[in-house]
Amino acid sequence: MSSRLLAGALSTLLAITLPLLSLTSQAAEPASQLLQLHQLRLAAQKSLGDFYMFNGMEGDQRYERMINESLAAANGHLEALVEMPGDGSKALRVQLAQQWQGYQADLNTLTAALKTNGFTDLQPVADLADSNSQLMALSLELYNRLQQESSYKVSPMAQRSREQSLLMQAIAVDYASRSASVGATFIGGGESRPIEELVSEFASTLDVLEKAPKNNGQLRQSWGNVATKWRYIEKSLINYNENSVPFLVNKYAETIIQGCEEIAGQYATRQL
């Protein structure tokens, strides 16, 4: 091939490739922002559950470390949320940062009090749960606004898998709060729901996702692994008043969430 023909071919290839790369980059940015925000929501939820475990396990230091790890993770995800696509998302990002700083300060204060005194008053704990609920509602609003202003939608199956992660985390937080004798928690939007209802919703959605026609062999196996872990704790979640096993539920919830997140990543890659 002559140098002139080669140059022409390369020019044509670049003309085709560069716009595609630009489109891919534009799509990747909101996808990355939405994933960071989703992971922020999970870490924020988990931090409250970690506090309940720290309370219920009488100041076990491993849960104090977990509180700090959850806070650090949430801060990292929040710092990664930059370049919001519109005025609405920018304003919500500022509100979220303010809400998070207040929640984090209250959580640190309560953790220090529990560590020093061995107990905390119920009202500040209830206020912390309410602050966490507001944080979850605000972050959900930003999540939806990001999709609206960027004209990018998380693929349906990936979104349902992320919702399963959040639901599992909410169940684990609720269970930990009961085991710590501080009452049921609030989940996203300030809505208080019986734990039995949350468990039933998770189980029914898991069944639907496990049997989804779009799943390949690997996805079916991954959902099967999640289902096996879920069945191991499902009865304990339903019969929470009979034999409290917060350590077991907390441990398995973490692996179930990890499984759901890995599956969500596979769905996102395949745009399912």
Tell me the per-residue pLDDT of 59-98, one tens digit each, with 9 for 90 and over: 788 999 999 999 999 999 999 998 899 999 999 999 999 9
Q: Give the pLDDT band (50/70/90) at residue 183.
A: low
- DSSP assignment of 105-154 equals HHHHHHHHHHHHHS---HHHHHHHHHHHHHHHHHHHHHHHHHHHHHT---
Dihedral sign, Cα of residue 58, residue 235, residue 137, residue 178: negative
Please tell me the total number of residues recorded for the chain in this structure: 272
pTM of the model: 0.87
* Phi, psi for residue 187 in degrees, rounded to 5: -120, 175
Distance CA 53, CA 51 (A): 5
Q: What value does the mean pLDDT of the chain take?
A: 88
CATH 3.30.70.2190 describes domain 29-153: no
Rounded mean pLDDT, 40-64: 93
